[in-house]
């Protein structure tokens, strides 16, 4: 685009002056535990919607697309999210059940990415998620397209920005 647009982009501020420290050697062995810790710290730092993340999917030809989503839970099944099976991402997940999440918490210079295979949870679990959505009245508003999914991580990477640019990356490869 124009030179002035590129100048504007380059001049934008990046991370706050004070960033949290992160010592991978002291990190918990369980990535879910570290995620909970970072989420709690993001909440304490006033990060709005730290449960929001991008979800990348790809169609049957490997053409990617991404959008924002809300993380619903993490348990032994995996990292939970929900959407309509009839949506673009729903159709892509049917054709190609692999995906990646990315969380970004600007105030702390942190991102967390998760990638793996995607599995559909039961109709009962999906209906329960639909009913539990904020603003849902819990009544007869079932949505039969609504699907709760989990990503079963093949890799999880925690990234901490540093002002000396020696950014810290801590990787888990559960499977
Ligand atoms: C912060 C944020 C959270 C969102 N959470 C969800 C969600 O949990 N589930 C969902 O289906 N769409 C959610 N959306 C909307 C999606 O980003 C997207 O626009 C929609 O699901 C259609 O995506 P698709 O056409 O790629 O399938 C959210 C959007 C934002 C900005």
How far apart CA 143 and CA 88 sit, in angstroms, is 17
Residue nearest to atom 7 of ligand 1 (CA): 69
DSSP state at residue 97: -
Give 89 Cα–ligand 1 centroid separation in angstroms. Answer: 9
Q: Tell me if 83 CB under 6 Å of ligand 1.
A: yes
Question: Among 12, 37, 7, 2, which residue's Cα sits nearest to residue 22?
Answer: 37
Of ligand 1's listed atoms, the one at least distance from the Cα of 81 is 8
Which residue has the CA at smallest separation from atom 29 of ligand 1? 68
Residue nearest to atom 3 of ligand 1 (CA): 69
Q: What are the boundaries of each domain within the chain?
A: 22-172
Nearest CA to ligand 1 atom 14: 69
Our answer on whether the CB atom of 57 is closer than 6 Å to any ligand 1 atom is no
Beta-bridge partner residues of 70: 52
* Per-residue pLDDT tens digits of the chain, which is 175 residues long: 688 999 999 999 999 999 999 999 999 999 999 999 999 999 999 999 999 999 999 999 999 999 999 999 999 999 999 999 999 999 999 999 999 999 999 999 999 999 999 999 999 999 999 999 887 765 556 788 999 999 999 999 999 999 998 999 999 997 7
Q: What is the CA radius of gyration of the chain?
A: 18
pLDDT score recorded for residue 174: 78
The pLDDT assigned to 134 comes to: 82
Q: Are 101 and 55 in contact (CB under 8 A)?
A: yes
| pLDDT for the residue 13 | 92
Assign domain 22-172 one CATH number from 3.30.420.40, 2.30.110.10, 2.60.40.650, 3.40.50.300: 2.30.110.10
- Ligand 1 pocket, 67 CB below 6 A? yes
- Residue to mutate (ligand 1; options 69, 87, 94, 149; most atoms within 8 A of CB): 69
**Extended strands (E) in 18-136:** 52-58, 64-70, 73-75, 78-84, 98-105, 110-120
Four-CA torsion 39, 44, 46, 52, nearest 10 degrees: 10
pTM exceeds 0.85, yes or no: yes
Top mutation candidate among 54, 57, 63, 68 for ligand 1, by most atoms within 8 Å of CB = 68
pLDDT at residue 143, rounded to an integer: 84
Spatial separation of the C-alpha atoms in residues 69 and 20, rounded to whole Å: 25
pLDDT at 142: 76
Q: Is 108 in the pocket of ligand 1 (CB under 6 A)?
A: no
Burial of 93 (0-12, 13-18, 19+ CB in 10 A): buried
């Amino acid at each position: 685009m124009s030179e002035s647009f590129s100048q504007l982009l380059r001049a934008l501020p990046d991370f706050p002056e004070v960033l949290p420290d992160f010592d991978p050697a002291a990190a918990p062995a369980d990535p879910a535990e570290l995620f909970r810790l970072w989420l709690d710290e993001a909440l304490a730092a006033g990060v709005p919607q730290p449960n929001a993340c991008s979800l990348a999917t790809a169609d049957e030809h490997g053409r990617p697309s991404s959008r924002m989503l809300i993380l619903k839970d993490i348990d032994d099944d995996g990292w939970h999210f929900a959407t309509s099976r009839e949506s673009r991402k729903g159709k892509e997940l049917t054709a190609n059940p692999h995906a990646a999440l990315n969380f970004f918490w600007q105030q702390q210079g942190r991102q967390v990415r998760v990638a793996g295979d995607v599995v559909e949870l039961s109709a009962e679990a999906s209906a329960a998620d639909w009913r539990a959505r904020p603003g849902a009245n819990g009544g007869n508003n079932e949505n039969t397209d609504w699907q709760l999914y989990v990503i079963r991580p093949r890799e999880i990477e925690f990234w901490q920005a540093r002002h000396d640019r020696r950014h810290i990356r801590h990787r888990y490869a559960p499977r």
